[in-house]
Amino acid sequence: MKHGGNIYSFAERIGCRPDQVLDFSANINPVQAIDWRTLQFDPSPYADPDYSALKEALRYRYPLPNDTDLEPFNGASAAIFALLRRLHPEEVVLYTPMYVEYGRIAQQLDCRIRCIDRFDHFEQTEIPPHSTVIFVNPATPDGALYDLHKLLAQWQAARCTILIDESFLDFCPAAATTSIADRIGQIPNLYLIKSLSKFYGSAGVRIGFVAAEKTAITKLKQLEPAWKLSSFDIAYMQQALSNDTFANNTRRQTTQLRESLRQMLEDSKLFDRVYPSQANFILVRLAKIDGHALQRHLEKARILIRVCDNFEGLDKRYVRFAVKDAESIARLAECLQHV
């Protein structure tokens, strides 16, 4: 597997400590929702196996219709695997490029995989009847945000099972009006997947969830073990979800810092395309060198980037940069001047 955020192998390779790496490869909020050192919880008893208080906090932050339910998992990757294992579809339609775990898990389950290129007028593409479609919104690695109303109608007409991944939607000011959460129950076989670690700046706290109709969640839970989440994970996320000020500030700051990063990347003249983004990362295409060569240049400054050559339809010219704080962006800008 190849993902962003592996600061440990990168640090070992270049001869530094992991905490000395400036990581532009992982799309994690540089600000944490709470100070984990002030967290109070009792590690002695078992955690609540029904996650009642956590679910209440999740519903407060992400309102759902009355006839729906949700199930927490120890990260979005675990949620993706559990859901696809439960559905075990014969044919999967992936709107690519997209998060690589979907294709990897579909291959492990021996699904037939059809990829639809989002960069090529994909709205008119015919969908196989009764297939399982997977769409990430906003998309990764480019951060495009889509209005899914027409696509939802198309998928529903083809009687598809629909999986929408909104792991990065919290970063968008239009999150409340763009989410498909209120359509669950109205559209049959509609599932919402969400990671919480990105937005709340806590990649080490592994929590994600699946939301769907109550009967679908009941079936999904039948294959799940008890106590998937630790007491620390639950306590951390419950407090983070209640921080309204953090959520509002993050959306505002992400918009400002993303624009600063975008302008800096364009001014560098190293890229022949900088993709517009609504998320906390930006995809670029290098003009003259490839991403691995750029990474070698940036290693001297202990900067890690995400080369996107393992995304369907992309090659080693494509690189993704996470939106970081102003000081980190300035440090990256200085390094790019010397490439």
Q: Where are the domains of the chain?
A: 7-32+245-337, 45-242
Q: Is 254 helix (H, G, I), strand (E, B) or coil?
A: helix
pLDDT above 90: residue 43 = no
pLDDT above 80: residue 309 = yes
pLDDT band at residue 121, thresholds of 50, 70 and 90?
confident
pLDDT band at residue 124, thresholds of 50, 70 and 90?
confident
* Residue 198 near residue 167, CB atoms below 8 Å: yes
- pTM of the predicted structure, to 2 decimals: 0.94
Average pLDDT over residues 143-148: 95
* Residue 165 near residue 99, CB atoms below 8 Å: yes
Straight-line distance from the first to the last Cα atom of the chain, in angstroms, rounded to the nearest whole number: 29
Burial class (CB in 10 A: 0-12, 13-18, 19+), 256: exposed
Give the gyration radius of the chain's Cα atoms.
20
Predicted local confidence at residue 1, as pLDDT: 40
pLDDT digits (tens, 9 = 90+) for 79-90: 999 999 999 999
> For domain 7-32+245-337, is the CATH number 3.40.1280.30?
no
Q: Which residues contact 141 (CB under 8 A, 6 or more apart)?
A: 97, 281, 283, 306, 308, 311, 314, 318, 320
pLDDT band at residue 182, thresholds of 50, 70 and 90?
very high
Average pLDDT over residues 212-223: 94
pLDDT above 50: residue 156 = yes
> For domain 45-242, is the CATH number 2.60.40.1840?
no
Structure tokens at 205: 């706290």
Average pLDDT over residues 122-149: 94
Whole-angstrom distance, CA of residue 190 vs CA of residue 211: 9
Return the closest-CA partner of residue 335 out of 301, 289, 284, 291: 301
Which phi and psi angles does 321 have, rounded to 5°?
A: -115, 130
Q: Which residues contact 304 (CB under 8 A, 6 or more apart)?
A: 4, 7, 10, 21, 22, 23, 24, 25, 295, 298
